[in-house]
Chains A and B, each alone.
Chain A
Amino acid sequence: MTAMDDAPDLGGLFRSAGVTGFLHAVDVDTGAEVSCGGDEPVVLASVFKIALMVEFFRQADRGLLDPAERVTVMADRHTPGPTGVSAMADDVTASLRDLAYLMIAVSDNTAADTLVGRVGLGAVNAMLAGFGLARTWVEHDCAGLFASIVTDSGQQDMPTDPAVISRLRALDPARTNRSTPRETARLLAMIWRDEAASPGSCGWMRRLLGLQVWPHRLASGFPYDDVAVSGKTGTLPTLRNEAGVVEYPDGGRYAVAVFTRSYGTAQNQPRADAVIGTAARTAVEHLRSRLS
């Protein structure tokens, strides 16, 4: 059901925050949905780590890997990044599933690439195709993504120069990790319905997504003690994303995927972060108002 006439003005919300936004929200249990460019191709950035986590737990379900196996990540093999193992100075030994925790909760790039080394990007894409998520594709791991930015910009730091940003392949959905808001929301809804892997593994994935530390995007729209917000962020120059699930105290569960691209190139844009929460709340309220 589309019902465009009564749909909230999400585009206006995004514009007033200085971004172009794409959103898809779906009621996990009824399938009711609301969309704002939900079928547009979008750059996943770190949101691709959700798909990687799903395949990791599916391989654990099949006995292809042991999630409790301890691995040592050498200091000279760390992928750049501001958090987790990426930010640590020394060799780190942790279990695979604890690396999965760091990858989801703080978007640890080194943890993600270590899991890619075990799971394989081919397996992730095969899983996505098997689920019918034909427009979701993982092109490269974090190191590959970072290398493309360095090549295109000619610098190690994240660029803020508009001319440099405009030529980054990492910001072109056709040439980097990509999806659509609808497909990303669908993958999350499958995790919440125990369809993405075994119920036990889906429970683990929900726990990890619930440990998301960044409060300024999706969670900021739901500042309530009795509402649970789980999610995974994604950030690249001009891109601010978060996809997750919001659970209301009356049992309502809504998968929401929000992808934004700012007009400005500044790194710090609190309004752009906050509109992810505001738009998600507006979309969820819209879904809830249709129930009654």
Chain B
Amino acid sequence: MDLVKHLYYFTVVAEELHFGNAAARLGMAQPPLSQRIRRLEEELGVRLFDRSSRQVRLTGAGRAILAESREILTRVDRLRALAGRGEGAVLRVGVPPDLGSAVIAALIAGFEEADREVRLAPAEMWSADQAVALASGALDVGVLRHPITAPGLSFGPVLVQRPGVVLAASDPLAAVASVHLADLAGRRLVLFPGEPGLHEETLAECRRHGFVPEEVHEAQTLGLVMAGTAVAFGPRVELPGLRWRPLLGSPLTWRLSTAWRGEAGPAAAAFGAVAVRVLKEGAGMTDDGAAPVRQVRARPASGFLA
């Protein structure tokens, strides 16, 4: 029997927990699907599904092999991808879309210097999409924002970025040199889409500093900010109609690292080294741990115990 194919059928049934739905998804009739699952059960010598009740359930053995089955399937996909690609062709790299043209250009130039054999194929993707693409083998290396993870991913050194705030030029806060998170009270906030971990961390930090956004929009561009209806966080931008201001006390810490699946190949390792250098030199990022600890300065009138 083709074990890989049977494991694939198993994972689909395990996801659907319904033979009819699983068969429809696989584009086949239900009886042959049930038969193949029975053959897999015979092969492994255990029952994978409990079909006694109206609802299909995974047995303990079924649960035990599900993660491993997925792992085998992605590895096989990756094996095929590697075989088809041949030696020294292309390194598929994911970068966050907000990184900026200059940084992406520097990544390509830096990598070309480090490895002339391999061509870099960068794709702009948000971190959640990168994690999925890395796990499935559609991407060789990613540059993604934390906290985010997926089974089997390994990470390079973590760099930190201290975002400022992007305001409409007409915002009264544009007149001051640095803005405290609390000053943003009453404003709406634009956050990147596809950055679930960063999203939660950023909002938690905003709340802690007294900024509860009236509304949070997920958007890729700064149109809402330019229109004066929201503010955004990010690295320094210079665009007409927008003003960038540092956040007082640098309360937000965005962490970022390279990521790959399993062992990094030589091209991926070379890219990782280039990425760390370029992000430090070109995007003002620093090593994790270089960030100062936030200090609360108590005052008699506003401190506790008074």
Kindly state whether residue B180 has any CB partner on chain A within 8 Å.
Answer: yes
The answer to whether B248 touches A211, judged by C-beta atoms less than 8 angstroms apart, is no
Nearest-Cβ distance from residue A206 to partner chain B, whole angstroms: 12
Q: Is the interface of B mostly helix, strand, loop or mixed?
A: loop
Q: Which of A160-168, A177-185, A195-203, A221-229 contacts B (4 or more CB under 8 A)?
A: A221-229
Which of under 10, 10 to 19, 20 to 34, or 35 or more describes the interface residues of A? 20 to 34
The answer to whether B248 touches A248, judged by C-beta atoms less than 8 angstroms apart, is yes
The answer to whether A226 touches B176, judged by C-beta atoms less than 8 angstroms apart, is no
The answer to whether B296 touches A225, judged by C-beta atoms less than 8 angstroms apart, is yes
| A286 and B176 alpha carbons, distance in the complex (Å) | 7
Given contacts A224-B182, A285-B178, contact A219 B249 (CB under 8 A): no
The answer to whether A226 touches B296, judged by C-beta atoms less than 8 angstroms apart, is yes
Kindly state whether residue B1 has any CB partner on chain A within 8 Å.
Answer: no
| A214 and B176 alpha carbons, distance in the complex (Å) | 25
The answer to whether A215 touches B301, judged by C-beta atoms less than 8 angstroms apart, is yes
Which residues of chain A come closer than 8 Å to B299, judged between CB atoms? Answer: 210, 212, 215, 219, 228-229
Q: What 1/0 mask marks residues of chain A from 53 to 86 whose CB sits below 8 Å from any chain B CB? A: 0000000000000000000000000000000000
The answer to whether B300 touches A212, judged by C-beta atoms less than 8 angstroms apart, is yes
Given contacts A225-B209, A226-B294, contact A249 B250 (CB under 8 A): yes
Which residues of chain A come closer than 8 Å to B248, judged between CB atoms? Answer: 224, 226-227, 248-249
Kindly state whether residue B297 has any CB partner on chain A within 8 Å.
Answer: yes
The answer to whether A228 touches B297, judged by C-beta atoms less than 8 angstroms apart, is yes
Summed over the interface, the residue pairs from A and B with CB atoms below 8 Å come to a total of 59
Which residues of chain A come closer than 8 Å to B297, judged between CB atoms? Answer: 225-228, 247
Q: Which residue of A lies closest to B246 (CB)?
A: A292
Kindly state whether residue B35 has any CB partner on chain A within 8 Å.
Answer: no
The answer to whether B296 touches A215, judged by C-beta atoms less than 8 angstroms apart, is no
Which residues of chain A come closer than 8 Å to B180, judged between CB atoms? Answer: 224, 227
Nearest-Cβ distance from residue B251 to partner chain A, whole angstroms: 8
Q: Which of A223-244 contact B (CB under 8 A)?
A: 223-229
Nearest-Cβ distance from residue A124 to partner chain B, whole angstroms: 26
Kindly state whether residue B295 has any CB partner on chain A within 8 Å.
Answer: yes
- Which of A225, A249, A289 has most chain B Cβ within 10 Å? A225
Which residues of chain B come closer than 8 Å to A289, judged between CB atoms? Answer: 176-177
Which residues of chain A come closer than 8 Å to B296, judged between CB atoms? Answer: 225-226
Q: Which of B289-306 contact A (CB under 8 A)?
A: 292, 294-297, 299-302
The answer to whether A105 touches B294, judged by C-beta atoms less than 8 angstroms apart, is no
| A215 and B294 alpha carbons, distance in the complex (Å) | 22
| Interface CB pairs A-B, < 8 A, 7 | A212-B299, A215-B301, A224-B180, A224-B182, A228-B299, A249-B294, A281-B176
Given contacts A210-B299, A282-B176, A289-B177, could you give 18 more A-B pairs where the C-beta distance is less than 8 Å? A212-B299, A212-B300, A219-B299, A219-B301, A223-B182, A224-B180, A224-B249, A225-B297, A226-B248, A226-B249, A226-B251, A226-B296, A228-B297, A247-B297, A249-B249, A249-B295, A288-B177, A289-B176
